[in-house]
A = this chain, B = another copy of it.
Amino acid sequence: MMPVPLSPLHEAIHKQTAKEMIRDKIVSLIASGILQVGDELPSERELASMLMVSRETVRGAVQRLAGEGIVQVSQGARTRIANVNVDVGGQRIGVTNPTSINGYSLDAVHAARLLVETAVVADAAKHLSTEDIKRLEESILVQEQACNDPVRFLICDREFHLTIYYASENRLLADFVVDLYTYMLDHRRIAMGKPGAIEKSLEDHRFIVRALKMRNPEAVSAAFSEHILRIHDTSLAVDADGAGFKPAPASWGNEKEPA
């Protein structure tokens, strides 16, 4: 989330060219569902000015993205630039390692969510505005219509969750939770392919909104707790390559590595 750049002196400096940074930025925007299939990128000149780099640099980044098949320069013509492809030739964007996320175990991420997220949403329950709740209810309607489109559903899911998180007054913890949520995106996208997964999530969301409307922090906490545990179950099921469901440990768990 919000790193003190406290890497030890013996660690190599990580240099990155501007091209790479731009490329990665766009990739992460796609991987997180903010940029979706068919979206147009701003023009090269526009990107250059908003990223504070020269146009050639933007060109380089975009051309590399095109080379990787991640964006498409619109067919034939030369106007406009790129259409985002979420998956290209079966290869999905983003790092998807089924048993670890950014070097942390899935269990560790889930344990962290269970601890922090329940606290954050409990606080959010106290501060959610009526407009926020209205937005959440509308979001549910949209989600219902997106039931058959995992990608679209995930985008709604993201907006739904973030609306709640950022209602908390502790922005530090909210940011942290958003990071945890974002880490899970790849896993969730796979899990969403399972039959019934979307409906289950939707059901959880409805339950959460009911608890929020009652402005009952404990109920909201409990609802999220269940929601997270269900997600954990699904993730594990995905890791196990389909079949069986393991029970949720809800405990800690991670490879140790003391200072």
Q: A244 → chain B, closest Cβ, in Å?
A: 25
Contacts of A243 in B (CB 8 A): none
Contacts of A77 in B (CB 8 A): none
Give the residues from 19 to 38 in chain A that come closer than 8 angstroms, CB to CB, to chain B: 21-22, 24-26, 28-29, 32, 34-35
Question: CA–CA, A13 to B16, complex, Å?
Answer: 11
- Which of B9, B22, B253 is within 8 Å of A169, CB to CB? B253
> Is the C-beta of A163 less than 8 angstroms from some C-beta in chain B?
yes
Given A9-B29, A50-B9, are A172 and B109 also a contact pair (CB < 8 Å)? yes
- Which of B14, B28, B104 is within 8 Å of A5, CB to CB? B28
Contact status B51-A28, CB under 8 Å: no
> Is the C-beta of A252 less than 8 angstroms from some C-beta in chain B?
yes
Q: Which of A21, A42, A105, A172 has the most CB of B within 10 A?
A: A172
Contact status B4-A182, CB under 8 Å: yes
The range of chain A's interface size is 35 or more
Contact status B9-A25, CB under 8 Å: yes
> Is the C-beta of A116 less than 8 angstroms from some C-beta in chain B?
yes
Contact status A171-B4, CB under 8 Å: no
Q: A251 → chain B, closest Cβ, in Å?
A: 9
Contact status B172-A108, CB under 8 Å: yes
> Is the C-beta of A10 less than 8 angstroms from some C-beta in chain B?
yes
Contact status B1-A3, CB under 8 Å: yes
- Which of B166, B179, B256 is within 8 Å of A2, CB to CB? B179
Contact status A170-B12, CB under 8 Å: no
Contacts of A116 in B (CB 8 A): 115-116
